[in-house]
Amino acid sequence: MANDHRFEALFEHSSEGLLVCAADGTVLSCNAVASALFGVDKATLVGAAVTGILQQEAGQGPFMLCNGSALAKQDQAPPRPVALRITLLRTAGGPQAIVHLRDPAERAQTQERLAHLANFDSLTGLPNRALFRDRLSQSMARAQRSGLPMALMFLDLDRFKLVNDSLGHEVGDQLLLHVTKVLTQCLRSVDTLLRPVEEPYTLSRLGGDEFTVICEAIGSVEDAAHVAQRMLDALTAPFIAGEEEIVISASIGISMYPDDKVDLDGLIRHTDMAMYRSKSLGRGTYSFFSDDLNAAATARMSLETSLRRAIERQEFVLHFQPKADLRCGKVMGVEALVRWQRPGQGLVSPDRFIGVLEDTGMILPVGAWVIRAACEQLAAWDRMGLPPVRMAVNLSARQFRHMYLASLVEDTLRENTIDPQRLEIELTESLLMEDNEANRAMLENFRRMGVRLAIDDFGTGHSSLSYIKRFNIDTLKIDRSFVQSLPDNEEDVAIASAVIALGRSMKMCVVAEGVETSAQARALRNLGCDQIQGYLLSRPMPGAEFAGWITGYMRARAKDRVGFRAAKPSPTTWFTQLEQVA
Ligand code: C2E
Ligand code: MG
Ligand code: MG
């Protein structure tokens, strides 16, 4: 009797839902939790049949049971599955079963919690070593498949042990949380526009003060160096713990895959070795596993640093190269070409630094300066009374992503009272290939403003003719490489003549770039090309020289013309030389 009471008390107050069922599944009794789980009162539950239970073997792991329609009232939500476990009882009245019920939602939560514990670091919530290895092997497989390299980085805090030992574990933990936050924010803010992956970075904590970053679809070694440098910079802000201000730094090791042809453990080992290289280099720095990559990254980073300084110190200058009409020799316009006056190194050609400016986003301030300086120069020449020429400016695709470019151009033209028709924007073919919203909107903006559009280096990429038509491109510039071997190379003659025919049929002005000899100019004129630009006419020159140059050029032309008429040619300009032989 006492036993029965005790059983009942246990039964009723169990935190688990419990049913006692007969062999045929009829519910003989139930507790409060069970009736709550089924969402019916006890009286309804008792006597209802829960079929098929006793055929299941006892102890056979949890399975799902739906409260049958007999239990569900009409207006109730659809029956909710319940997880259960069964204990078999042999009683004098035949076999009975105790059914243990549990809310499946709670069960899923527990499972999730367990899975989380197995895969994530309990302090920081970052993926732990197990999940890191898993993600790494997936990333490596993707890099193999796609051919887009990935970078693996190990980041180890410098002198973390010292903080931990002197200030205590609590401060140590706080510091690790701080580092996690800083790194997460830093990785999130790195430009991911060009990455065809959803989550390009995986930050994990392997334990202690060791963090790893998997960077997928990283463009280049330089990009990897960039990410590393940004993390190092982000960590330099001091961390305040109570009264203490802790200054931290970290050492980073980087390896690239599939450049480093190794398996998962090999890649981890290489990255670890690179990290130790950083430590031995005096900490607070990053290193690559490979020597070549280290040399390339170092050179590149020092170039970047110098370029940053160049912007602050305004070390850029513009040179201008004239373009002339092939039929009359008149100067029609100039192209603004940027140069870098690098201290101690003279003038640096844009081919050496435009790429870096583009990659780092520095092209935005420099490009804006180019537009302003070119327009100011044009206005200055106008004030000097020089014959009005057109100004061509080169724009990178990267600049097109920023809508302020349109208003910058518009404002600059207005401030300098320049007719928009006198500004020509030179675009690369790759920009026209990329048919995206930003490019389209920007091109439309320029069209609306009345600025002229040119395609630079035509023939080296793949232009879409429909784009050329749609945006009413005004000018095609035949790339220098097709001009070089004119008129002897038949293939180049064929290409030049095709481009010229295309341009004329679409009513565009065709300009040949890089014309160095009379023979090239003559061949181009015979093919119907409109203008030339190149050393034959003039090299690019500083703005201050242009006034003298164009005045001299016009005088020489006039003199040639007089001499030509008097049949006493003493040619001084390229143009008269052409006329003479023709
Ligand atoms: P580009 O726009 O095709 O400019 C023509 C390049 O050919 C210039 O090189 C010019 O100096 C060179 N050139 C002109 N005539 C001759 C010739 O007869 N023979 C030879 N061999 N070369 C000739 P530069 O000034 O070194 O500029 C190189 C490229 O850098 C430019 O090619 C342009 O794509 C880019 N660039 C220059 N300035 C800027 C700028 O302000 N912004 C941007 N985004 N790119 C620029
Ligand atoms: Mg150009
Ligand atoms: Mg060009």
pLDDT band for position 73 (cuts 50, 70, 90): very low
Question: Closest ligand 1 atom, CA of 516?
Answer: 18
Tokens linked to 3: 């036993």
Query: Is the separation of the CB atoms in 528 and 504 below 8 Å?
Result: yes
Positive or negative: CA dihedral 229, 232, 238, 239: positive
Angle between helices 490-505 and 518-527 (to 10 degrees): 50
Higher confidence at residue 475 or residue 219? 475
Please give the average per-residue pLDDT across 264-281, as a whole number. 90
Residue 66: predicted pLDDT: 42
Tokens linked to 224: 């990897």
The DSSP secondary structure of 470-501, one letter per residue, reads: HTT--EEEE-HHHHTTTTT-HHHHHHHHHHHH
Residue 233: predicted pLDDT: 92
Q: To test ligand 1's pocket by mutation, which of 393, 426, 475, 513 has the most ligand atoms within 8 angstroms of CB? A: 513
Question: Closest ligand 1 atom, CA of 396?
Answer: 44
Q: Whose CA is nearest to atom 21 of ligand 1?
A: 514
Q: Is 424 a pocket residue for ligand 1 (Cβ < 6 Å)? A: no
CA within 13 Å, CB half, 199 = 8
Residue 568: predicted pLDDT: 52
Q: Whose CA is nearest to atom 20 of ligand 1?
A: 514
Residue 460: predicted pLDDT: 76
Question: Closest ligand 1 atom, CA of 479?
Answer: 3
Q: Whose CA is nearest to atom 7 of ligand 1?
A: 514
Q: Whose CA is nearest to atom 43 of ligand 1?
A: 394
Please give the average per-residue pLDDT across 70-96, as a whole number. 62
Higher confidence at residue 372 or residue 6? 372
Higher confidence at residue 241 or residue 451? 451
Exposed e or buried b per residue across 406-441, where buried means at least 16 C-beta atoms within 10 angstroms of its C-beta:
bebbbebbeebebebebbbbbbbbebbeeeeeebee
What is the CB neighbour count within 10 angstroms for residue 156?
21
Question: For residues 321 and 303, what is the distance between their CA atoms, to the nearest angstrom?
Answer: 27
Question: Closest ligand 1 atom, CA of 399?
Answer: 44
* DSSP classification of residue 350: G
pLDDT in tens, 334-370: 999 999 999 888 999 999 999 889 878 899 999 999 9
What is the CB neighbour count within 10 angstroms for residue 164?
19
- Residue 203's φ and ψ, nearest 5 degrees, are -100, 130
pLDDT band for position 193 (cuts 50, 70, 90): very low
Question: Closest ligand 1 atom, CA of 536?
Answer: 18
Question: For residues 405 and 368, what is the distance between their CA atoms, to the nearest angstrom?
Answer: 8
Q: Is 348 a pocket residue for ligand 1 (Cβ < 6 Å)? A: no
pLDDT in tens, 106-128: 767 777 777 777 889 989 999 99
Of 49-63, 316-330, 367-381, the poorest mean pLDDT is in: 49-63
The DSSP secondary structure of 181-205, one letter per residue, reads: HHHHHHHHHS--TT--SSS-EEEEE
Q: Is 358 a pocket residue for ligand 1 (Cβ < 6 Å)? A: no
CA 381 from centre of chain: 41
Please give the average per-residue pLDDT across 374-391, as a whole number. 96
Residue 565: predicted pLDDT: 58
Residue 77: predicted pLDDT: 46
Residue 564: predicted pLDDT: 58
pLDDT for 211 beyond 90:
yes
Higher confidence at residue 518 or residue 108? 518
Q: To test ligand 1's pocket by mutation, which of 337, 398, 400, 427 has the most ligand atoms within 8 angstroms of CB? A: 337
Question: For residues 357 and 327, what is the distance between their CA atoms, to the nearest angstrom?
Answer: 38
Q: Is 357 a pocket residue for ligand 1 (Cβ < 6 Å)? A: no
Of 170-179, 280-289, 350-359, 433-442, the poorest mean pLDDT is in: 433-442
pLDDT in tens, 123-173: 999 999 999 999 999 999 999 998 889 999 999 998 888 888 888 888 899
Give 351 Cα–ligand 1 centroid separation in angstroms.
8
> Tokens 């009975």 appear where?
96
pLDDT for 277 beyond 90:
no
pLDDT for 308 beyond 60:
yes
Question: For residues 290 and 254, what is the distance between their CA atoms, to the nearest angstrom?
Answer: 9
Q: Is 396 a pocket residue for ligand 1 (Cβ < 6 Å)? A: yes
Query: Is the separation of the CB atoms in 515 and 530 below 8 Å?
Result: no
Please give the average per-residue pLDDT across 70-93, as a whole number. 59
Question: For residues 392 and 454, what is the distance between their CA atoms, to the nearest angstrom?
Answer: 9
> Strand 452-458 relative to strand 531-533: parallel, antiparallel, unpaired?
unpaired
Give 323 Cα–ligand 3 centroid separation in angstroms.
12
Query: Is the separation of the CB atoms in 515 and 482 below 8 Å?
Result: no
Question: For residues 235 and 182, what is the distance between their CA atoms, to the nearest angstrom?
Answer: 7
The rounded mean pLDDT for the chain is 85
pLDDT in tens, 459-484: 777 766 777 888 889 999 999 999 99
pLDDT in tens, 523-577: 999 999 999 999 999 999 999 999 999 999 999 888 877 765 555 555 567 888 7
- Residue 569's φ and ψ, nearest 5 degrees, are -70, 130
Tokens linked to 361: 């986003």
Residue 197: predicted pLDDT: 56
pLDDT band for position 62 (cuts 50, 70, 90): very low
What pairs with residue 341 in β-bridges? 347
Residue 229: predicted pLDDT: 92
Would you mind telling me the total number of residues written for the chain in this entry?
Answer: 582
pLDDT for 104 beyond 60:
yes
pLDDT for 441 beyond 70:
yes
Of 63-67, 420-424, 461-465, the poorest mean pLDDT is in: 63-67
Q: Which of 468, 467, 496 is nearest to 481 (CA)?
A: 496
Q: Is 514 a pocket residue for ligand 1 (Cβ < 6 Å)? A: yes
Residue 68: predicted pLDDT: 43
Q: Whose CA is nearest to atom 25 of ligand 1?
A: 337
pLDDT for 69 beyond 50:
no
Percent of the chain topping pLDDT 70: 88
What is the CB neighbour count within 10 angstroms for residue 225?
25
Tokens linked to 202: 């995986």
Residue 254: predicted pLDDT: 95
Residue 255 in 3-state DSSP?
A: strand
Give 293 Cα–ligand 1 centroid separation in angstroms.
29
Please give the average per-residue pLDDT across 221-235, as a whole number. 90
CA dihedral 116, 118, 121, 127 (to 10 degrees): -80
Question: For residues 215 and 308, what is the distance between their CA atoms, to the nearest angstrom?
Answer: 25
pLDDT for 223 beyond 90:
no
Please give the average per-residue pLDDT across 67-72, as a whole number. 41
pLDDT band for position 581 (cuts 50, 70, 90): low
Please give the average per-residue pLDDT across 9-15, as a whole number. 83
Question: For residues 97 and 87, what is the distance between their CA atoms, to the nearest angstrom?
Answer: 6
Tokens linked to 549: 């140059």
Please give the average per-residue pLDDT across 386-413, as a whole number. 91
